[in-house]
Structure 1
Amino acid sequence: MKTIKIISAIALTAILGFTSCQSEENSQVGTNPNANSSTSPTASNYQRATMNDGSDDDFLDGNACTELLFPLTANVNGQQITLLSKLDFTAVLNIMGQFNNDSDAVTFSFPIRVRTSAYTDVTINSQSAFNTLKQECETAESQGKDAISCVDIQFPVTMLTYSVSLEQTGSVVIQSEKQLYTFMKNLQDDELFAVNYPISVTLSNGTTVQIKSDAEFQNAISECVQFEDEKDAAEDTAEEVEAILSGTKFKVETFVVAGANTANDYANWSIEFKNDLKVVAKNVVNSALGEVNGTYTVSSETEAFVNINFASNTTVSALSNNWVISTYSNTLITLKSKTDASVTLALKKI
């Protein structure tokens, strides 16, 4: 999935230290039959949820395992650009967004520096080394060694530590994702832990929830992963539909408003979606009626959308809407209004 991070094969070189302290006042001092080992699902969940997130720059490097470090220079669709911070991402996206029927090409001026999922900073000296790192990422993901970036844990979080005999040995107050990742990564076979619940987490859908157990944390992960999967599927749909629309002429096959099919009102009109996000309606019978120009965008959330915008008071202005993509093929796209599902539009390729 596109918003997940994975453990890089590059070894962790910077280890944070922690201070453990015995707390006789803690309500969980003593034995704890629910303590977790380093190989437990709970340990895996917390480690995966706290890896370094390298997904923000995936449009540039195509690698969710690595975070690009600044400064760096890249050639984007033939244009050289130097990036000093994430603020320069906008300039890259503007170049990529000039046309929607081209294949965006990005090459870096090596060496570049990246930060891995394990918080290790690495210098990449060549395209081949860059490709190897990307392949390692894909291999690890296929093996189920992926990390989860759709849960943000609110810190501080306290971890209670136990011996294998389930006697508490101390507690550790964790202040950041990096510290929690390192704590989980460095657990030894003879060390157990328990999370001092409750804790708060924020999911990628914007919901903040209080977690009171390991099981509830697993449920929160399952919920947000499902949400991310829906977003990924919608993004794939948007990309495919945009490719079908771009540079192609369509006719109105059906246009149902208030239960009536008004497609005949547009029988003499073609709708052409240009590759620069312009849309042009032409009367193919009476050229004297000229053209009606508009714009369109294809986007996604947990559904995919086609937004069509023609000027008001034109023959085709009623087609303006934020449409939800219902079904699509290479020749037919069916849409429904985002605000009124009873209003539907079907566009058939000419």
Structure 2
Amino acid sequence: MKTLKFISAIAITAILSFTSCQSEESTEVGTNPNANSSTSTTASNYERAAMNDGSDDDFLDGNSCTELLFPLSATINGKPITLISKLDFSTVLNIMGEFNDDNDTVIFDFPISVKTSNYTEVVVNNQAEFSTLKQQCETAEQQGKDAISCIDIQFPVTMLTYNVTLEQTGSVVVQSEKQLYTFMTGLDGDELFAVNYPISATLSNGTSIQIKSDAEFQDAISECVQFEDEKDDAANTATEVEAILSGTKFKVETFITGGVNKANDYANWSIEFTNDSKIVAKNIINSVLGEIEGTYTVSSETDAFVNINFANNTAVSALKNDWIVSTYSNTLVTLKSKTDASVTLAFKKL
């Protein structure tokens, strides 16, 4: 889940408007030494937090700077599909999740429409234009012009306005992210603003907070960006571990539980992770024992996980667990129990 959203350079600049409540008096009148200019860090923080979020459909377009608009048609892994709303995302994910060792392909039926970070709707006519938007998004990230989508501000929020002599000129009641973005990008060079704190917000880790100053807003952003970075790192780890496991046979290198290494209990068993999320234990010495089939999934939060599920009362049922990925290479994957870090398991490639 990326947090980048960008104003496309090829998008036609839209004239955004909103109805604001403006008055010559408010709860704070007079001067405010903490007023911010349009080029301040606080202005940048609020502008980036208010950009249109295009990250929900990244698994389709690979571009968190644009939001796909419906309806649209595409071919997913060779299967044509028409998407009417976000409810159709589950169908796409099911197609992509059928096998975990293939390269998912998405071919759009152009033209398609997207909404950019500045809320402008743009018609994308071909793959070249689509690729240009994606490249601009990557450039935005490198230049620090990315949006902040890990914090949701609770509206309404009142912005107090000032002139360059710090005298209050009015106030604006902002009712939505789009209105906040319009307010921030509409400030002139000789206009200053201050947020009428406190305001409430929710971070992407689920924490609800009350913010009482510009500094606290910056701290909240730093906290949620760090959380998103950890999620991205974990997601990358999960992808790499799944690629190592899928379609490959392993042996139990170590299995430590209760302080004892019980790897010898599985010396005669191979463990195969198939590309359709099955895990198959096979006794390579005694064929009479046959095969024991279970399931596995690889997922992530702020850690990467491998869930192994075998039926109870089998020769390998003790391997059933929710495991956290500790370390991994192309030949060795080490895990620890999600509930008891002293229980560890290592698979070595055969």
Paired letter, 2:164: V
Q: Give the CA deviation at 1:139.
A: 1.3
Paired AA for residue 60 in structure 1: L
1:157 corresponds in structure 2 to 157
Q: Distance in 1 between matches of 2:20 and 2:265?
A: 75
What displacement does 1:95 show? 0.3
Helix, strand or coil at the partner of 1:146: coil
Whichever residue aligns with residue 188 of structure 2, its letter is: Q
Deviation at 1:11, TM superposition (A): 4.2
**What does residue 6 of structure 1 align with?**
6
Aligned-partner Cα distance in 2 for 1:17–1:98? 45
SS for the counterpart of 1:56 is coil
For 1:6 and 1:237, locate their aligned partners in 2 and report how far apart those are by CA, in whole Å: 26
C-alpha displacement of 1:189: 0.2
- The CA deviation at 1:20 is 5.2
When structure 1 is superposed on structure 2, of 127-136 and 201-210 the one drifting more is 127-136
Q: Which residue of 1 aligns with 2:36?
A: 36
CA distance in structure 2 between the aligned counterparts of 1:286 and 1:324, rounded to whole angstroms: 31
1:102-140, CA deviations, whole angstroms, 9 ceiling, x for partnerless residues? 000000001100000100001111111111111111112
What aligned pairs does 1:167-246 form with structure 2 within 5 A after superposition?
A: 167-246=167-246
Aligned residue type for 1:253: E
Q: Is the 8 A contact 2:297 2:307 kept in 1?
A: yes
Deviation (angstroms), 1:3: 2.6
* Residues 5-14 or 66-75, more deviating: 5-14
- The residue number in structure 2 matching 1:110 is 110
> Offset of 1:18 from its aligned partner?
4.2
**TM-score scaled by structure 1?**
0.98
2:185 counterpart letter in structure 1: K
Matched, 1:298 2:272: no
Q: Which amino acid is 1:47 matched to?
A: E
Q: Deviations over 1:77-102 (max 9, x none)?
A: 00000000000000000000000000
1:191-340 to 2 correspondences below 5 Å: 191-340=191-340
TM-score, length-normalised on structure 2?
0.98
Specify whether residues 234 and 130 from structure 1 end up closer, same or farther in structure 2 by C-alpha distance, changes over 3 A only: same
- Given that residues 11 and 118 in structure 1 are in contact (C-alpha distance below 8 angstroms), is that contact kept between their aligned partners in structure 2? no
SS across alignment from 1:295: strand
In the aligned structure 1, how far is the partner of 2:298 from the partner of 2:3?
20
- Structure 2: how far apart are the matches of 1:14 and 1:300? 41
Contact 1:12 1:119 in 2 (8 A): no
- Rounded to whole Å, the distance in 1 between the matches of 2:115 and 2:303 is 32
What is the root-mean-square deviation in Å for CA atoms of aligned residues? Answer: 1.0
1:100 partner letter: N
Aligned residue for 1:141, secondary structure, equals helix
Secondary structure in 2 matching 1:144: coil
Q: Distance in 2 between matches of 1:97 and 1:20?
A: 49
Distance in 1 between the 2:18 and 2:226 partners? 35
- For residues 119-134 of structure 1, the aligned pairs below 5 Å read 119-134=119-134
TM-fit CA distance, 1:15 = 1.2
Spell out the pairing of 1:19-34 with structure 2 (5 A cutoff): 19=20, 21-24=22-25, 26-34=26-34
Deviation at 1:191, TM superposition (A): 0.4
Question: 5+ residue gaps in structure 2?
Answer: none
8 Å contact from structure 2 (residues 309, 320) kept in 1: yes
| Distance apart, 1:22 and its partner CA | 2.6
What is the CA distance between 1:23 and its match in structure 2? 4.3
Q: Is the 8 A contact 1:323 1:335 kept in 2?
A: yes
Q: Which residue of 2 aligns with 1:16?
A: 17
Shift of 1:143: 1.1
CA contact (8 A) 1:20 1:170 kept: no
- Whole-angstrom CA distance in 2 between matches of 1:257 and 1:96: 36
Q: Deviations over 1:221-270 (max 9, x none)?
A: 00000000000000000000000000000000000111011000000000
Flag as ranges the 4+ runs of structure 1 deviating above 6 A. Answer: none
Q: Does residue 86 in structure 1 map to residue 80 in structure 2?
A: no
For 2:345, the equivalent position in structure 1 comes to: 345
1:28-74 CA-partner distances (Å, limit 9, x unpaired)? 21011110000000000000001000000000000000000000000
The answer (yes or no) to whether the contact 2:4–2:137 under 8 Å persists in 1 is: no
Question: How far apart, in 2, do the equivalents of 1:261 and 1:81 lie?
Answer: 50
Unaligned runs of 5+ in 1: none
SS at match of 2:306: strand
Does the 8 Å contact 2:252/2:263 carry over to 1? yes
